Amino acid sequence: MPQYTPPLRDMQFVMHEVLNVTDEFKALPKHAEVDADTINAVLEEAGKFAAEVTFPLNISGDTEGCKLDLATHEVTPPRGFKEAYAQYVAGGWAALSCDPEYGGQGLPFVLNQCLYEMLNSANQAWTMYPGLSHGAYEALHAHGTDEQKKTYLPKLVSGEWTGTMCLTEPHCGTDLGLLRTKAEPQPDGSYKLTGNKIFISAGEHDMAANIVHLVLARLPDAPQGSKGISLFVVPKSNVKPDGSLGDRNGIFCSGLEHKMGIHGNATAQIVMDGASGSLVGQPNKGLAAMFVMMNAARLGVGNQSLGLTEVAFQNALAYAKDRIQMRSLSGVKAKDKPADPIIVHPDVRKMLLTAKAYAEGGRALAIYCTLLLDKEIHHPDEKVRKDSAEIVALLTPIVKAFLTDNGHIATNACMQVFGGHGFIKEWGMEQFVRDNRINMIYEGTNTVQSLDLLGRKVLGNNGATLKKFGKIIAALIAEEGVNEKMAEFINPLAYLADQMTKFTTELGFKGFQNPDEVGAAAVDYLRVAGHLVFGYFWARMAQVALREVAAGNTDPFYQAKLQTARFYFAKLFPETATLMRTARSGSAALMDTDAALA
């Protein structure tokens, strides 16, 4: 059976020693009183909930899956899921970072980030039920009418109701301009929606009293394409004027998808047959409103893979210390045993360290992004708010794609550590691989994220935002450039930062002449950008660790951090050289292939 220990020490290291979040909070009036003791206490309890309540349901939930009653269209999640959700609501976890005006606790997003990393490590399928509610809350908080906010936000904040995002249709996924769901205006100002949606995570269940669906649809006179999409809120059960639940709405589950992983989550086929809904935001401006939810979901998906990378690493490390197999190439290590533990073998260590480096680098990036979100919303200085929003927009596709690609690499590597046992269900490793695989696909495939990064976020403003992040990296290089002990971390980072400018300019020029050049290079480009960002955070973490060691701190945590940083820069970071070469190879080898693909 697998095990899980919340990585509280590493979270505290990133927050308090690398990013100094409490100092940042002092500049935010709403969070000025949040101190380290508060943060640590909240996360300790969050870790207990994840490890003790949801983690034990992970394998059983995967085995049991969800059940649909075709007569009633009701879905029953795996045993224990509903009770765990009731504990989640009773503990106030749903309200952690929500607006106090609607019953939230108003704590920083940073805490919610760490809570959800632990929940994803413990049980991604379960975590998706409450997780999607945050996106629905954000979209309605930003674009809802006063009446919609009054009706839905307190219930979403408390966790009494959950939320979904209903975008995908059988004939269209990312290309939402093709969607066909219709919304007919009614005399009372409401709308009747008719259409079909698929792949709706947590689309139907009995864990909460109501489900708030945010649905993209077309008005009768809407223009074609993405400019003719509107957003509607469509509850599972209609809500009476006094806030109580009325009759069942015309939106129901017609089927459940049979999936590779996340079996414990109800991925629903949704049918709307004259379902009653209300317009969110302006007519034909639905994508702008939905992108609030989609961007939150993209950060959340990266967090899912971060959680799975961490739990896979923990279990592979424990197994590698215990499993004996062959002798070390450099001589016997366990003289009292007939063979050595497999952790002595170089490639086993490479696999373990790969997962560890990607988990700890991903954690630093994810916490940094949520700190930016806190500053974007709550900082009193408009320039700081604007700059924070711009940087987090740049980093969002990297969080989504780089962390999920790394999760795929790491969970597979950790399964490999187990050898044949990794392929067997009872060890839990193959489930981590299966559950993670969807994260590279949904909320916009990683190719779509790459096109967004290179085409829109970088070339779209001639690299202005990339240059802003480049200045952040340059400040660290200037600070530590003459420190010999930091050279092994700073020198490769400085070299890539310099190369990135030339690399981006070259791709932009080629893309201007032929747009397929952008499409051909985008995936490789995002991975180079991901390593640039990870390199920055690994250099910062090494900087802190070196200072602690120099000050006489003998805590082995800091030596472990330095060793992992050295591994990252020696074995993973050099991937960028190959990626830049393949990106520069152009589109011809891909596009001039009609005979090969005939």
Reading the chain (598 residues) residue by residue, the pLDDT tens digits are 899 999 999 999 999 999 999 999 999 999 999 999 999 999 999 999 999 999 999 999 999 999 999 999 999 999 999 999 999 999 999 999 999 999 999 999 999 999 999 999 999 999 999 999 998 999 999 999 999 999 999 999 999 999 999 999 998 888 877 899 999 999 999 999 999 999 999 999 999 999 999 999 999 999 998 899 999 999 999 999 999 999 999 999 999 999 999 999 999 999 999 999 999 999 999 988 888 878 888 999 999 999 999 999 999 999 999 999 999 999 999 999 999 999 999 999 999 999 999 999 999 999 999 999 999 999 999 999 999 999 999 999 999 999 999 999 999 999 999 999 999 999 999 999 999 999 999 999 999 999 999 999 999 999 999 999 999 999 999 999 999 999 999 999 999 999 999 999 999 999 999 999 999 999 999 999 999 999 999 999 999 999 999 999 999 999 999 999 999 999 999 999 999 999 999 999 999 999 999 9
8 Å CB contact between 414 and 358: no
8 Å CB contact between 572 and 354: yes
Please report, for residues 30, 231, 233, the alpha-carbon distance to residue 154 in angstroms, rounded to integers and kept in the order given.
20, 20, 15
Helix (H, G, I), strand (E, B) or coil at 595: coil
Q: For 209, phi and psi rounded to 5 degrees? A: -70, -25
Question: Residue 416: CA atoms inside 13 Å, Cβ hemisphere, count?
Answer: 14
- Find the helix packing angle between 346-378 and 556-567, rounded to 10°: 100
With b meaning 16 or more CB within 10 Å and e meaning fewer, what string describes 104-129?
bbbbbbbbbbbbbbbbbbbbbbbbbb
Point out the residues that are catalytic.
Answer: 443
Return the closest-CA partner of residue 465 out of 454, 473, 457, 476.
457
**Rounded distance, CA 354 to CA 534, Å?**
13
